[in-house]
Amino acid sequence: MTEKLHAPVIAWFDAHARDLPWRRPEAGPWGVMVSEFMLQQTPVNRVLPVYEEWLGRWPRPADLAKEAPGEAVRAWGRLGYPRRALRLHGAAVAITERHGGDVPTDHAQLLALPGIGEYTAAAVASFAYGQRHPVLDTNVRRVIARAVTGVQYPPNATTAAERRLARELLPEDERTAARWAAASMELGALVCTAKNEGCGRCPIAGQCAWRLAGKPEHSGPPRRGQTYAGTDRQVRGKLLAVLREAHTPVPQAVLDRVWHEPVQRARALDGLVADGLVEPLPGGLYRLPLG
What mean pLDDT comes out for the span 74-100? 96
Asked if 36 is an active-site residue, the reply is yes
Residue 127 has pLDDT above 80, yes or no: yes
Under 8 Å between Cβ of 265 and 259: yes
Which one of 3, 36, 53, 261 is the catalytic residue? 36
Residue 260 has pLDDT above 70, yes or no: yes
- Supply the mean pLDDT for the chain: 94
Residue count of the chain: 291
Residues contacting residue 141 through CB under 8 Å, at least 6 positions apart: 154, 158, 162, 188
Residue 89 pLDDT class (50, 70, 90 cuts): very high
Q: How far apart are CA 64 and CA 188, in angstroms?
A: 32
Mean pLDDT, rounded, for 30-46: 95
Task: Give residue 225's pLDDT.
Answer: 63
Cα-based distances in Å from 204 to 17, 25, 48, 181:
16, 29, 29, 15
Q: How far apart are alpha carbons 242 and 122 in whole angstroms?
A: 36
Give the predicted TM-score (pTM) of the model.
Answer: 0.89
Residue 250 and residue 286 in contact, taking contact as beta carbons nearer than 8 Å: yes
- Work out the number of other CB atoms within 10 angstroms of the CB of residue 88: 27
Q: What are phi and psi of 77, to 5 degrees?
A: 60, -135
Average pLDDT (191-197) is 95
Sheet containing 250-251: order of strands = 250-251, 285-287, 279-281
